[in-house]
Amino acid sequence: MFDIIIKNGTIVDGSGNPRVKADIGIKREKIEAIGDLSNAQGSNIVDATGLVVSPGFIDTHAHSDGVLLTDPQHASGVRQGITTEILGQDGLSYAPLNHKNYLIYRQYLSGLLGMPPPDLDMSSVTAFRSNYHKKCAVNTAYCVAHGAIRIETVGFNDVPLLGKDLENAKALVKESIEQGAVALATGMSYYPNSWSNTEELIELCTAADKAGGLYVTHLRDVNTERGFEGGGVEEALEIGRKSGVKVHFSHFRTTPEDFGVISAEEKISLIDKAKSEVDSTLELYPYPVGSSFAIMTLDSISQDGGTEAILDRLNDPVKSRIVAKLIDTYDSRSLDHLVFTHLPNNQDLEGMSVMDICASTGMTRGQVICDLLVKEDLQVGFRSVPPTSGAIWRHLMKDQMYFLSRSDYMLGSDQISLGGFPHPRAYGAFPRFLGRYLRQLPDVMTLETMINRLTHNAAERFGLKNRGLLKEGYFADIVVFNPDTIIDTATFDDPKQFPIGIPHVIVNGEFAVKDESCTGILAGHSVP
């Protein structure tokens, strides 16, 4: 007697092998049988005639660390077919931190990750993982956060890691990976991460590599003078060469600014040239622009000291004017065209751009951002405005399909589901690839290849044991979808819309989604 039998489906098992017609029998948390189960008995029977049955999708870049602790059902993720999310991305998360530091970093990250309960134990990766295990609808894996390592070692301060401090930081990295973290993650465009120089990162990554972890990096674009060759790809490759660590590049893709300037092949050429020296993989999301949190727009000096110091500066009329003027001169992130996504105390402003508010208030963009950071106690999120040119959209789609056709690529949604006006990737990244990109560009890759990139590639790279394939003895993380109708419906103008064509999602042998409705069952594990 099986707990669940999925009958008459077309199985795409995640390996890249051709699809087959077969049934799947699930007992407790695992797949017990694949084959002809027409005579078998099951407590729940799913008729998958005309549907594809695949491994659950693995989101290699999610910012759900806080959201999962306040909304463990996580409908925006699980309704996409996501069964596992890899947290700690961009080096921005909560462990390992003592309680005082957790409260500081919790507030600092609130515009990105939300506001989880203040009384949680985040003192170690073991403690962090226990906050999620069998308490969420999806599985979670954790990349130990570079930001947390620095705060726990030297505070939220612009100082180098040297001597005993560096040794303590390396010990924390080693201990964190031994406790189940799959990687060391850093975001070199964010604080306190960007206060590290290349040499410091090489030391931390040497510790990560010895403990068996990856290095996951969002490339540097601030404090560039501290990075090898000015940061970017060159710095990440140098870290890989000198430490021996395997490198994983976060959301590496072409952008609207690359249109007509650099091809996809040219953009990745430096990484390809280094393949013999650096074991590297990459991920991307299927949209032309991204989203983030507003505190990142403050300059390096204004960040020094952490949340209390930041708010003291923003509440001081003289210092606030200085910070605002610095933002007004800062043009590398196109602040003119940012749209606010998360303003819990000013929800009527969600969906408005910086320039909209400038026009209605007479304030400069810097004054608007500083004013809202104070009013929201730092809980401010935003996204970029996408290009209006259809030609750019189509070109970027082709580039993204080219990247994903490579065996070293996988998918990360970069999802931030906070607020009333989030980026649509929080609701639609995976079905967007399957229902829009794959159907529009069917000659680039097969469905089997696409599913491999969304499942097995990620499981193998991040060491997720017995996941990422439909295989007897593997955990029953399974998505049932209609290949003809699956599609994202979330848009930049109306982002909080669920996809269609995904009737069932199973996590560890339990229905997380049944008949396109969340079940409320919280069966997710903290993995690997």
DSSP assignment string, 320-346:
HHHHHHHHHT--TT-GGGEEEEE-TT-
Please answer whether residues 28 and 42 qualify as being in contact, where contact means their C-beta atoms are separated by less than 8 angstroms: no
Per-residue CA distances from 30 to 34, 372, 476 (Å): 11, 48, 5
Q: Is residue 187 part of a domain?
A: yes
Q: Is residue 269 part of a domain?
A: yes
Out of 467, 485, 517, pick the residue that ends a domain: 467
Provide the domain count of the chain. 2
Q: What CA–CA distance (Å, rounded) separates 380 from 17?
A: 45
pLDDT digits (tens, 9 = 90+) for 424-468: 999 999 999 999 999 999 999 999 999 999 999 999 999 999 999
Range of the domain at 226: 60-289+397-467
Q: How many CB atoms lie within 10 A of CB 419?
A: 26
Report pLDDT for 329. Answer: 85
189: its two tokens: 């465009």
pLDDT digits (tens, 9 = 90+) for 267-321: 999 999 999 999 999 999 999 999 999 999 999 999 999 999 999 999 999 999 9
pLDDT digits (tens, 9 = 90+) for 173-196: 999 999 999 999 999 999 999 999
Q: What CA–CA distance (Å, rounded) separates 93 from 62?
A: 11
Please answer whether residues 32 and 472 qualify as being in contact, where contact means their C-beta atoms are separated by less than 8 angstroms: yes
Picking from 321, 261, 252, the residue whose alpha carbon sits closest to that of residue 282 is 252
Instruction: Please tell me whether residues 272 and 296 are part of one structural domain.
Output: no
Please answer whether residues 381 and 340 qualify as being in contact, where contact means their C-beta atoms are separated by less than 8 angstroms: yes
Q: Which residues of 62-76 are buried (b: 16+ CB within 10 A; e: fewer)?
A: bbbbbbbbeebbbbb
Instruction: Please tell me whether residues 110 and 188 are part of one structural domain.
Output: yes
Q: What CA–CA distance (Å, rounded) separates 491 from 496?
A: 8
Instruction: Please tell me whether residues 283 and 424 are part of one structural domain.
Output: yes
Report pLDDT for 334. Answer: 64
Instruction: Please tell me whether residues 255 and 303 are part of one structural domain.
Output: no
Return the DSSP state at 507.
Answer: E
Q: What CA–CA distance (Å, rounded) separates 261 from 139?
A: 40
Residue 473 in this model has a pLDDT that exceeds 70 = yes
Q: What CA–CA distance (Å, rounded) separates 155 from 111?
A: 20
Q: What CA–CA distance (Å, rounded) separates 104 from 94?
A: 10
Instruction: Please tell me whether residues 302 and 344 are part of one structural domain.
Output: yes
- Percent pLDDT > 70 in the chain is 99
Q: What CA–CA distance (Å, rounded) separates 501 from 135?
A: 27
Instruction: Please tell me whether residues 141 and 158 are part of one structural domain.
Output: yes
Q: Is residue 315 part of a domain?
A: yes
Instruction: Please tell me whether residues 266 and 224 are part of one structural domain.
Output: yes
- The enclosing domain of 436 has a CATH number of 3.20.20.140
- Pseudo-torsion of CA 12, 15, 18, 22, nearest 10°? -40
Q: Is residue 443 part of a domain?
A: yes
Q: What is the mean pLDDT of residues 223-233?
A: 96
Q: Is residue 116 part of a domain?
A: yes
Q: What is the CA radius of gyration of the chain?
A: 22
Residue 335 in this model has a pLDDT that exceeds 90 = no
Instruction: Please tell me whether residues 99 and 234 are part of one structural domain.
Output: yes
Report pLDDT for 336. Answer: 77
Instruction: Please tell me whether residues 234 and 132 are part of one structural domain.
Output: yes
Q: How many CB atoms lie within 10 A of CB 285?
A: 24
162: its two tokens: 């040297």
Q: Is residue 28 part of a domain?
A: no
Q: How many CB atoms lie within 10 A of CB 516?
A: 14
Instruction: Please tell me whether residues 363 and 437 are part of one structural domain.
Output: no
pLDDT digits (tens, 9 = 90+) for 43-84: 999 999 999 999 999 999 999 999 999 999 999 999 999 999
| Average pLDDT score, the chain | 97
Report pLDDT for 332. Answer: 41
347: its two tokens: 């929800």
Out of 355, 384, 413, pick the residue that ends a domain: 384
Picking from 219, 191, 222, 197, the residue whose alpha carbon sits closest to that of residue 330 is 222
Q: Is residue 182 part of a domain?
A: yes
Q: What is the mean pLDDT of residues 24-38?
A: 97
Q: Is residue 142 part of a domain?
A: yes
Instruction: Please tell me whether residues 284 and 310 are part of one structural domain.
Output: no
Instruction: Please tell me whether residues 261 and 324 are part of one structural domain.
Output: no
